[in-house]
């Protein structure tokens, strides 16, 4: 896979014209765009459609991190499958039954609509959390162990892959094999500040560790020239 195709650009805004502008600017320089909760809560499916109108072939990572009872999550998956995202996220902590229900819903709805089934990625431990933060939620295991536990559960429950920080990639790859998709946020180019991410690596380090895709937002979207910034990251990864 060429370096730029590994990059999903996180467009973290609630403004549709801004999101559409950024999507247009990075097309051809990244593998796809990520739209998350901030955007989806403000604009819903129609907002997603508007962003993709000008770039219909640009892959979409719909990062909505579903976490609810199995029937509700299954219904939510059915509701967004028509948007034809390449990836949708849900929380592994929702449990095996929830994840299995999501997989079944994705398969059935994609078949009904005659579209490609979205790949389901289970969120393990958010990259804003460290061991102390995790302990405050009642989880006594270390971050690395909890990520691995949830990754194995997700694979057993029919997920296509997980979301994890770059520091857990090597262990998850060893446990779950080469075909399990690893989507990795917490990635910052060497020339960019860490900001609110705690478990970070550079793009090259993350890919070398075994990441399939990396998520990069502000170093691209807040740059004066987003396309040039994306190209710079690709060159760094190839170097």
| Residue 117: CB atoms within 10 Å | 16
Q: Identify whether the C-beta of residue 64 lies closer than 8 Å to the C-beta of residue 41.
A: no
- CB burial class (10 A; 0-12, 13-18, 19+) of residue 46? exposed
Rounded Cα distance, 97 and 101, in Å: 6
Q: Which of 50, 65, 198, 232 is catalytic?
A: 65
Collapse the DSSP code of 143 into the 3-class scheme (helix H, G, I; strand E, B; otherwise coil) and give the result: helix
Q: Identify whether the C-beta of residue 80 lies closer than 8 Å to the C-beta of residue 109.
A: no
Collapse the DSSP code of 62 into the 3-class scheme (helix H, G, I; strand E, B; otherwise coil) and give the result: strand
Residue 95: CB partners within 8 Å, gap ≥ 6? none
Residue 232 is a catalytic residue:
no
Residue 36: CB partners within 8 Å, gap ≥ 6? 10, 12, 63, 64, 65
Q: Identify whether the C-beta of residue 155 lies closer than 8 Å to the C-beta of residue 178.
A: no
Residue with tokens 């960019």: 192
Active-site amino acid positions: 65
């Amino acid at each position: 896979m060429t370096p730029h195709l590994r990059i999903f650009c996180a467009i973290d805004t609630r403004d549709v014209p801004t999101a559409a502008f950024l999507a247009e600017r990075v097309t051809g320089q990244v593998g796809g765009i990520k739209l998350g909760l901030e955007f989806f809560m403000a604009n819903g499916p129609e907002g997603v459609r508007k962003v993709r109108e000008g770039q219909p072939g640009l892959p979409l990572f719909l990062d909505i991190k579903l976490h609810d009872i199995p029937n509700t999550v299954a219904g939510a998956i059915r509701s967004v499958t028509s948007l034809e995202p390449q990836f949708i996220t849900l929380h592994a902590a929702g449990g095996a039954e929830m994840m299995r229900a999501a997989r079944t819903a994705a398969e059935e709805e994609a078949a009904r609509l005659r579209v490609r089934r979205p790949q389901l990625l289970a969120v393990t431990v958010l990259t804003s959390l460290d061991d102390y933060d995790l302990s405050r939620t009642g989880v006594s295991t270390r971050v690395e162990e909890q990520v691995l536990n949830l990754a194995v559960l997700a694979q057993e429950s029919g997920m296509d892959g997980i979301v994890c920080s770059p520091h857990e990639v090597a262990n998850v790859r060893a446990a779950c094999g080469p075909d399990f998709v690893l989507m990795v946020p917490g990635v910052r180019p060497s020339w960019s500040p860490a900001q609110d991410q705690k478990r970070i690596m550079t793009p090259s380090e993350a890919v070398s560790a075994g990441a399939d895709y990396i998520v990069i937002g502000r170093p691209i979207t807040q740059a004066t020239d987003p396309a040039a910034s994306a190209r710079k990251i690709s060159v760094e990864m190839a170097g």
